[in-house]
């Protein structure tokens, strides 16, 4: 039981003992620096239960706590705030019980808890992954890891959008202009090669539009009648009809892209338990629509199309089946969600990591699934996130102005190399060790910079700023971890057992208070689906550690008990840095 729970239980007991009144809750806050205390109880809300002077009430409760809790050694009351001083013994005992491994703060998976499926990435197979995908996969992967640490069974999944007109555009451009080019002959990853042909299609399409408008067509007519677009639409029809030549081309080019994606995912450091493919799921949901018609959830219009009316819920009418009987995206998403639960019967909820431009879509999807009677639909969550911008502006895939994920990772590694060499702290490293370190720092900088921001907020990503070794950055935290490992390597008495009582410095108590928060931060980050809570917690812990490091001697401390407390405290801080960064998908180097 943490300190707040201990104090809250005893304060409620005090109310019953002293005033014969039940207290519904207790409000705590950090003690202000100008007052003595480790934790503060806010008295004012208690005056709803008992009419008295707030200072008198604070003194009564403080006296009760001092008499009945060995953890409380003294207190002071400032206006309506009860500042409580906690014994060094309490902090020391808590500190000794922190597991000296990366599992500290994690909850075991409960067999009684339903599993959660987390969807992220969901790329199109007509282009490589870009900066926007990076935010998506980092968020989804980290949320999945945090949910696991909180005690949930988690399945990581993606749905690959491998069919549709955009795929056919790349296929047609390759067929017309590719001259048999392959990833091997071009010396390119397959996703990059296919992406080049998507850009090529757009260029040729624009040329044809210009030609048609010059011949007297309106721009709208030209866009619809451009021969290359009509060819792409015909190719899509052939694919849907199973034309062997088109399907063979589709399989070959998608195979190139899948291989390219796998390399990028490995470089980013994310993985999946199961892949779904739109080519297999786009017909799902049609039978569900028919069942929903029978139940009265959907209705059919005169043209034969099927709709749902959500106006009573503040939304609008939404089509779920076209008049020709073909599915729309909503139909497919309904069917895919149901199929996932069939594949994993223990799933009781899902998290969809998708940009905020799809907020309305997911409101509708979740509401439809609830109306269809699926109980797990109560536990669906749209992890909505803002766009990632660069100082150079917005990215556009079809114009070839996106920031390629692989290129960004390479650039981050190079930036880390440049800054590290300028700092000149890599003497004694082999070339291979240096390259590994540059990659660890560069990728850590990228991930932390993105994950420290609340998912709902838009990000302006600045690569140079993210690799700064000072401030709220990944490299700053990695450097602190490496500093701790250096201390541990120099320590000659790592098996030392601390005595029952050690006089503690204020900086040591502050660090232990921060460590005490870690398990609760994991739960908060899991319940709010926000890696930013965890990222900013670890930054505050590292700030507290560096303040401690600057304020007290560690290895130079003469008194062995104090020295070992500080060494072991450093070790535990290192454990939490490594543990929390693992949940963010970030590695920490032993040396920097």
CA angle 442, 447, 452 (to 5 degrees): 130
Q: Could you tell me how many residues make up the chain?
A: 592
Could you tell me how far CA 160 lies from the centroid of its own chain? 20
Could you tell me how far CA 234 lies from the centroid of its own chain? 40
Q: What residues does 75 pair with on adjacent strands?
A: 84
> Residue 99 pLDDT > 80, yes or no?
no
> Residue 492 pLDDT > 80, yes or no?
no
Question: Does 122 or 119 have the greater pLDDT score?
Answer: 119
**Residue ranges in 74-164 assigned as alpha helix (H):** 88-96, 131-149
pLDDT bucket at 421, cuts 50 / 70 / 90: confident
pLDDT bucket at 2, cuts 50 / 70 / 90: confident
Gyration radius from the chain CA atoms: 30
Tens digits of residue pLDDT in 256-270: 999 999 999 999 999
Going from the N-terminus, what domains does the chain have, and what CATH number goes with each?
3-86 (3.30.1360.70), 115-288+325-389 (3.40.50.620), 289-324 (no CATH), 405-583 (1.10.730.10)
Measured in degrees and rounded to the nearest 5, phi and psi for residue 137 equal -70, -35
Contact 317, 309 (CB under 8 A): yes
> Residue 400 pLDDT > 60, yes or no?
no
Tens digits of residue pLDDT in 220-251: 999 999 999 999 999 999 999 999 999 999 99
Tokens for 4?
């707040």
pLDDT bucket at 182, cuts 50 / 70 / 90: very high
Beta strands in 79-130 (DSSP E): 81-86, 115-119
pLDDT of residue 101: 64
What gap in Å lies between CA 560 and CA 564, rounded to an integer? 6
Contact 115, 346 (CB under 8 A): yes
Q: Report helix, strand or coil for 124.
A: strand
pTM: 0.90
Tokens for 230?
């009509």
pLDDT of residue 401: 54
pLDDT of residue 543: 96
> Residue 398 pLDDT > 70, yes or no?
no
> Residue 394 pLDDT > 50, yes or no?
no
Mean pLDDT over 278-300 rounds to: 93
Tens digits of residue pLDDT in 508-563: 999 999 999 999 999 999 999 999 999 999 999 999 999 999 999 999 999 989 99
CA angle 490, 494, 495 (to 5 degrees): 165
Tens digits of residue pLDDT in 201-221: 999 999 999 999 999 999 999
- Which residue's structure tokens are 């934790």? 39
For 568, other C-beta atoms within 10 Å of its C-beta total 20
Rounded to a whole number of angstroms, the distance between the first and last alpha carbons of the chain is 37
3-state SS record for 276-297: EEHHHHCCCCHHHHHHHHHHCC
pLDDT bucket at 381, cuts 50 / 70 / 90: very high
What one-character-per-residue DSSP string does 165-185 give? Answer: HHHHHHHHHHHHH-TT--HHH
Which residues, in sequence order, are CB contacts of 572 under 8 Å at separation 6+? Answer: 95, 98, 100, 104, 515
């Amino acid at each position: 039981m943490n300190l707040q729970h201990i104090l809250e239980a005893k304060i409620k007991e005090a109310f019953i003992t002293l005033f014969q009144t039940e207290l519904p809750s207790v409000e705590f806050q950090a003690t202000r620096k100008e007052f003595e205390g480790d934790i503060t109880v806010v008295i004012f809300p208690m005056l709803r239960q008992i009419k008295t002077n707030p200072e008198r009430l604070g003194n009564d409760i403080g006296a009760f706590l001092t008499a009945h809790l060995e953890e409380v050694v003294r207190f002071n009351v400032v206006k309506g705030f009860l500042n409580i001083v906690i014994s060094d013994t309490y902090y020391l005992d808590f500190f000794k019980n922190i597991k000296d491994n990366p599992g500290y703060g994690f909850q075991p998976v409960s067999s009684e808890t339903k599993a959660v499926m987390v969807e992220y990435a969901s790329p199109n197979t007509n282009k490589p992954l870009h900066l926007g995908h990076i935010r998506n996969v980092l968020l989804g992967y980290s949320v999945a890891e945090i949910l696991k640490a909180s005690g949930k069974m988690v399945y990581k999944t993606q749905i690959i959008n491998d069919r549709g007109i955009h795929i056919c555009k790349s296929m047609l451009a390759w067929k017309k202009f590719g001259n048999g080019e392959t990833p091997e002959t071009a010396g390119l990853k397959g996703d990059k090669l296919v992406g080049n042909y998507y850009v090529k299609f757009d260029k040729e399409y624009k040329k044809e539009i210009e030609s048609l408008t010059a011949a007297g067509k309106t721009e709208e007519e030209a866009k619809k009648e451009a021969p290359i677009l009509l060819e792409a639409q015909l190719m899509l029809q052939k694919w849907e009809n199973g034309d062997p030549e088109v399907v063979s081309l589709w399989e070959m080019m998608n195979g190139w892209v899948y291989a390219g994606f796998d390399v990028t995912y490995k470089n980013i450091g994310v993985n999946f338990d199961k892949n779904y493919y739109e080519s297999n799921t786009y017909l799902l949901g049609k039978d569900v629509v028919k069942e929903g018609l029978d139940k009265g959830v959907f209705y059919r219009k005169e043209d034969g199309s099927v709709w749902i009316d959500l106006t009573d819920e503040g939304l609008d009418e939404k089509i779920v089946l076209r008049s020709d009987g073909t599915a729309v995206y909503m139909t497919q998403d309904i069917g895919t969600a149901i199929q996932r639960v069939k594949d994993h019967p223990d799933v009781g909820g899902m998290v969809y990591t998708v940009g905020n431009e799809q907020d309305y879509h997911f409101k509708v999807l979740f509401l439809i699934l609830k109306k269809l009677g699926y109980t797990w639909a109560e536990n669906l969550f749209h992890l909505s996130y803002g766009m990632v911008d660069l100082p150079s502006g917005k990215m556009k895939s079809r114009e070839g102005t996106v920031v390629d994920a692989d290129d960004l990772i390479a650039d981050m590694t190079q930036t880390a190399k440049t800054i590290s060499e300028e700092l000149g702290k890599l003497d004694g490293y082999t070339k291979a060790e240096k390259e590994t370190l540059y990659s660890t720092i560069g990728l850590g900088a990228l991930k932390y910079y993105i994950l420290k921001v609340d998912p709902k907020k838009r990000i302006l990503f600045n690569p140079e700023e993210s690799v700064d070794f000072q401030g709220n950055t990944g490299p700053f935290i990695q450097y602190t971890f490496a500093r701790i490992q250096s201390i541990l390597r120099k320590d000659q008495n790592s098996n030392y057992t601390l005595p029952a009582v050690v006089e503690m410095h204020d900086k040591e108590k502050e660090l232990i208070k921060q460590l005490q928060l870690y398990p609760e931060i994991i739960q908060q980050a899991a319940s709010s689906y926000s890696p930013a809570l965890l990222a900013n917690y670890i930054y505050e812990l590292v700030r507290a550690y560096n303040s401690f490091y600057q304020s007290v001697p560690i290895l130079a401390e003469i008194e062995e008990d104090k020295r070992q407390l500080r060494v072991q405290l450093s070790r535990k801080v290192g454990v939490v840095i490594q543990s929390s960064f693992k949940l963010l998908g970030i590695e920490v180097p032993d040396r920097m």
